[in-house]
Amino acid sequence: MALGHKSLLVRINPAPRQGELSVLFSGKARPKPGLRNGPAIHDYFLIHTVFGGKGTFELAGKQYHCTEGDTFVIFPSMVFRYEPDVDMPWHYCWVAFNSENAVKQLAELGITPEHPVITTTDMNKIQSLYRRLRHGLNRELAPGLIDLEASGLLRLLIYELGLANLEFIPKEENPLSEQERQLDQAIRWLFLQYTQSISIEELAKSLGYHRTHLSRIFKQRTGRSPAQYLLKIRMEKAEQLLGRSLTITEVAASVGYSDPLYFSRQFHKWTGESPTDFRLKHYPATGTATP
């Protein structure tokens, strides 16, 4: 047992990765009255969730009185202090992590140094996530698998905190209309599904529009009909792929054409050149493509 704690358990990630939301360690503790952490700074993010008792948390000179259901977040390079109540010392779980984009990601959920405390209601779910984190970090698995699971559980934990913090999530300054949102969704759908056989009729139905109406509002937004926009996506991607060591058949299939001859005709209409001539002109080092 660590000095100053009635109980303490810490699990370390054996191989934390650089990048998105990488867990460093997680644990739980029942500190004794009088145990003070800080004033100090960390070079990582540290989330604590209180499961019983109460205590005081201070960040950037502002003090918060936390009790069961409260989660407080320590931000890197910011002076913090926290300590349990003398009469009803808290017990809590925590997780430490690093991420290049966490400040922005947390701010999008309304979790900032100015609002570092979130009150949660579904404590069973939160406690289960912490328990699974500690258990996962203690498993005898490949380090990469341990890190992947821990990162996934951390995301779920932050998701739960975001749900509990809905009233503090920043509102969009210029919210899109429902029609604009649907058009954005249609454009994203075309960008992600251009390799598939796409029916503009079905796309219109999924948005609740007649095809003619979708084409009209789509053209107002993009300057092209959905079919023309899809063709643009496919042809521009094909131009890029022709710079790689792929056959014309492979390029055609990669941009949604099962018939390479039909693809070649469409490509010629788009660029004024056959795929082979385009490749020789713009990517001579690639060589002549086979069918």
Which residues touch 178 (CB under 8 Å, ≥6 apart)?
none
Which residue shows structure tokens 């789509």? Answer: 218
In this predicted structure, the answer to whether residue 286 has a pLDDT above a threshold of 50 is yes
Q: Measuring CA to CA, which residue among 140, 147, 63, 74 is closest to residue 113?
A: 74
CB 147 within 8 A of CB 17: yes
What would the mean pLDDT of 8-29 be, rounded to a whole number?
Answer: 90
Domains and CATH numbers, the chain: 5-168 (2.60.120.280), 175-240 (1.10.10), 242-291 (no CATH)
Exposure string of 104-125, with b = 16+ CB inside 10 Å and e = fewer, is ebbeebbbebeebbbebeeeee
Write out pLDDT tens, residues 54-65.
999 999 889 999
Where residue 208 falls among pLDDT bands split at 50, 70, 90? Answer: confident
* DSSP structural state of residue 101: T
Phi, psi at 63, each rounded to 5°:
-105, 140
Q: What is the pLDDT, as a whole number, of residue 5? A: 78
Lowest-pLDDT range of 10-14, 21-25, 286-290: 286-290
Count of residues for the chain?
291
